[in-house]
Amino acid sequence: MWFVRSALPALLLFACGGTSSPRGPEAVPDDFPDELPGAAAARQAPARSQDAGVAPAPDGSGAAARAVWNDRVVVAGHASARFRFSIPAGLVPLRGVADPPEDPREAIELASAGPEGVGVADGATVALNSILVFSDPLGVGEVFTTLDDAAQDAIAARYATVLRATLPDAQDPVILQIGGHLALRIELPRVAMEGRPVRHGRHYLIFDELATASVDCLWTEAEAVRMAAACDAVAAGLERVDDR
């Protein structure tokens, strides 16, 4: 079950049950960073890296290949914060991020995040329907999960502001428990990129101990039902690989 509440206090609870601990302070700590760790990756993904498209694996096309990949496990993320998830039905592994950032610093950060993903392979060189998972071992997961509702709301709003610098149509975040993790979920109703059709998407920021994981999903209108469900399934099934 998902327990969801809005990231804005003025909105009503979407479901019964709270998601935050009463142990936290009543406000964001003074020394909490103005920009969340991993925010540069948020600016890139999905708007810069995943939105640029992801090339399907060479052997990932066709109904037979899709069937082979059902329930196989993908391991993704930074070497110090690896996560695994099962491949949703009908999707295949993707080869990697296309069109990496031109800024060398962003490229290094993107590479160290170890993005891996799955999506719909339709024979094109770029997957327009894709789900990528990044991770940051030095995120704010442990801090976030101990804050009270008001402090979590403030941080969620701050994170959304960072995301809107690249994706101005990103909606207000919600804070929810999905699978075994507390997370932010942000709907992306309109993702426009040069040379690409306008798409829709969803972004999750998952908190796991100190680490955070980002689940970045994009889809075309034709694949909306399948991809939205797959995006939620990946976020709900994300598990930390215990190789620390």
pLDDT at 150: 92
pLDDT at 106: 72
For the chain, what is the mean pLDDT? 74
The CATH number assigned to the domain holding 39 equals: 3.40.1000
> What are 130's strand-pairing partners?
119, 218
pLDDT at 48: 39
Mean pLDDT computed over 203-232 = 94
Report yes or no on 9 lying in a domain: no
Reported as a pLDDT band with limits 50, 70 and 90, residue 55 is low
Quick check: 25 pLDDT over 60? no
Distance of alpha carbon 221 from alpha carbon 166, whole angstroms: 21
pLDDT at 51: 41
**What does pTM read for this prediction?**
0.76
> What are 200's strand-pairing partners?
219
Phi-psi region of 195 (alpha: psi -120 to 50; beta: other; left: phi over 0): left
Reported as a pLDDT band with limits 50, 70 and 90, residue 4 is very low
Reported as a pLDDT band with limits 50, 70 and 90, residue 98 is low
Q: How many domains does the chain have?
A: 1
pLDDT at 56: 59
Report yes or no on 19 lying in a domain: no
Distance of alpha carbon 180 from alpha carbon 220, whole angstroms: 29
pLDDT at 178: 96
For the CA atoms of the chain, what is the radius of gyration? 17
Reported as a pLDDT band with limits 50, 70 and 90, residue 67 is low
Report yes or no on 4 lying in a domain: no
Quick check: 112 pLDDT over 70? yes
Quick check: 18 pLDDT over 70? no
Smallest CA-to-CA distance from 231 within 79, 65, 100, 50 is with 50
**CA diameter of the chain:** 55
Quick check: 65 pLDDT over 90? no
Report yes or no on 8 lying in a domain: no
Given a contact cutoff of 8 angstroms between Cβ atoms, the answer to whether 170 and 154 are in contact is no
136 against 116, higher pLDDT: 136
Distance of alpha carbon 99 from alpha carbon 157, whole angstroms: 29
Find the domain containing 58 and state its range: 35-175+187-234
